[in-house]
Structure 1
Amino acid sequence: MATQNRAIRTRRAILEAAATVFSEHGYAAAKVADILELAEVTKGALYFHFDSKEELARAVIDAQAADAPPRAAQALRTQEFVDLGMVFAHRLTHSVLLRGSLRLTGESGECELNRPSPYRDWTRQGTALLEEAAGQGELLPGTDPAETAGLVVASYAGVHMMARALDELHDLERRMSALYRHVMPGVAVPRVLAALDMAPGRGARVLAAAAGG
């Protein structure tokens, strides 16, 4: 058991070190030597867990979904739709794995890392919530759930890219709050819109409530 726990800790240390290096330098410029130094492991330990730099990058991308907290159910499905983004924005400012994952999914290059997968997952989740919201009478007539979810995901990616370029990821939650406050009036009926919490800090509040805090 002790050996197994040590292996789990080593794998996590390698993943977090890789995410840090990928986040700072991108996939092509990332050096395995830098990952080894940051993780404080040997090359043999790294290749015991991951066959290549490409496999390690895929594992960082996959961690985006694997580390996601359980969805906190809300009476309004439109609130859950907003919460998806606000919780992610909060986690992104605190998780190097998410930052590395998002840097990789936003890049293009010769190496195939299944980069579209997270975007498709986010869009599917958002579409499903908005379809439920439509069934509960929360959406304005003519609102297309798939179109709206896709637009928000694309906008989210652009907002994140700009915040990272300006070295202002610490401000991401406020930027995402602004995005939802501009988008949701064209999506939710007035009575629902008035009830939505889209303020900065919403992500932290949802996670705290889910944890019983």
Structure 2
Amino acid sequence: MARQERAIRTRESILESMASLFIEVGYEAATIAALVERTGLTRGALYFHFPTKESMAHGVLARAVTREGILPQTYKLQEWVDLGLLLAHRLPREPMLRAAVQLSVDPKARTLFGTRWPDWIDLGQDLLVEAKERGELLPHAVPAEIARLAVGAWTGVQLVTEALPEDRALSEEIARLYQLILPNIASIGVLAKLDTSPYRAERLLDSAAVEEPVH
């Protein structure tokens, strides 16, 4: 068991180090030699866990789509908003997520193994379909269209926020994005009850941590 746990920690450490390299220099310029230097592991040890750089990229992308922090809410539309707010809160703090986004917009990487955007769209669409069935969306709102366009808008806001010289918090910018979107898709009764605060994600993660069982 101890050996297995050590292997899991080593694998995680390799992914985190490679994610940092992807962020710093991009997919193509990130090399195994640089990874060896950064981790202190031998090439043999690296290849034991990941046979290629591409497999490491797949490992990073696999961590991108998550419902971490999302708690059941009265309205499914709130859970959909929470999905985007939580990602905005976590992205600047978690290299693995930042690297996954960077790989998704890197043309070279994208041609090799695609992106996780379809998975984010599907996750959002599932919540929006439930919201539609519950009468939380306006009659004209189409879950598939909203999910697809919202992921595109979210990604655009993230890239622009990161590139602008002003010190803007991604959580605040994404909160504004939802404040613009929701009046066009949410039913009047639900709209007034939705929380789009940029601080909501932090509160959700704190609540999720409190609710985790102690082993």
Q: Structure 1 length as normaliser, TM-score?
A: 0.91
Judge which range, 29-38 or 79-88, deviates more: 29-38
Which letter does structure 2 place at the counterpart of 1:81? W
> Structure 2 residue aligned with 1:185, among 183, 186, 202?
183
Within 5 Å, which residues of 2 pair with 1:47-86?
47-65=47-65, 68-69=67-68, 71-86=70-85
Equivalence for 2:38:
38
C-alpha distance in 2 between matches for 1:210 and 1:35: 34
Q: Provide the aligned C-alpha RMSD in A.
A: 1.9
Contact 1:127 1:146 (8 Å CA) reproduced: yes
Equivalence for 2:106:
107
Which letter does structure 2 place at the counterpart of 1:122? W
Specify whether residues 39 and 164 from structure 1 end up closer, same or farther in structure 2 by C-alpha distance, changes over 3 A only. Answer: farther
Contact 2:69 2:86 (8 Å CA) reproduced: no
Q: CA deviation at 1:69?
A: 1.8
Contact 2:104 2:110 (8 Å CA) reproduced: no
Specify whether residues 153 and 51 from structure 1 end up closer, same or farther in structure 2 by C-alpha distance, changes over 3 A only. Answer: same
Equivalence for 1:157:
155
Which letter does structure 1 place at the counterpart of 2:51? D
Q: Is 1:138 matched with 2:136?
A: yes
Which letter does structure 1 place at the counterpart of 2:34? D
Cα displacement string for residues 107-166 of structure 1 (whole angstroms, at most 9, x for unaligned residues): 1117744323x1111111111111111111111121111101111000011111112323
Which letter does structure 1 place at the counterpart of 2:171? E
Q: Structure 2 length as normaliser, TM-score?
A: 0.91
Gaps of 5+ in 1: none
C-alpha distance in 2 between matches for 1:101 and 1:197: 27
Equivalent pairs, count? 211
Q: Secondary structure at the match of 2:64?
A: helix
Q: Is 1:123 matched with 2:83?
A: no
Q: Secondary structure at the match of 1:29?
A: coil
Percent identity over paired residues: 41
C-alpha distance in 2 between matches for 1:40 and 1:93: 26
C-alpha distance in 1 between matches for 2:191 and 2:110: 43
Specify whether residues 135 and 95 from structure 1 end up closer, same or farther in structure 2 by C-alpha distance, changes over 3 A only. Answer: same
C-alpha distance in 1 between matches for 2:10 and 2:17: 11
C-alpha distance in 2 between matches for 1:110 and 1:56: 12
C-alpha distance in 2 between matches for 1:62 and 1:203: 22
C-alpha distance in 2 between matches for 1:130 and 1:161: 25
Contact 1:22 1:30 (8 Å CA) reproduced: yes
Contact 2:154 2:174 (8 Å CA) reproduced: yes
Specify whether residues 154 and 129 from structure 1 end up closer, same or farther in structure 2 by C-alpha distance, changes over 3 A only. Answer: same
Q: Is 1:10 matched with 2:10?
A: yes
C-alpha distance in 2 between matches for 1:170 and 1:112: 31
Gaps of 5+ in 2: none
Cα displacement string for residues 50-100 of structure 1 (whole angstroms, at most 9, x for unaligned residues): 1111111111111213x6526411110110110010011111121111111
C-alpha distance in 2 between matches for 1:32 and 1:9: 19
Contact 2:70 2:204 (8 Å CA) reproduced: no
Q: CA deviation at 1:168?
A: 7.0
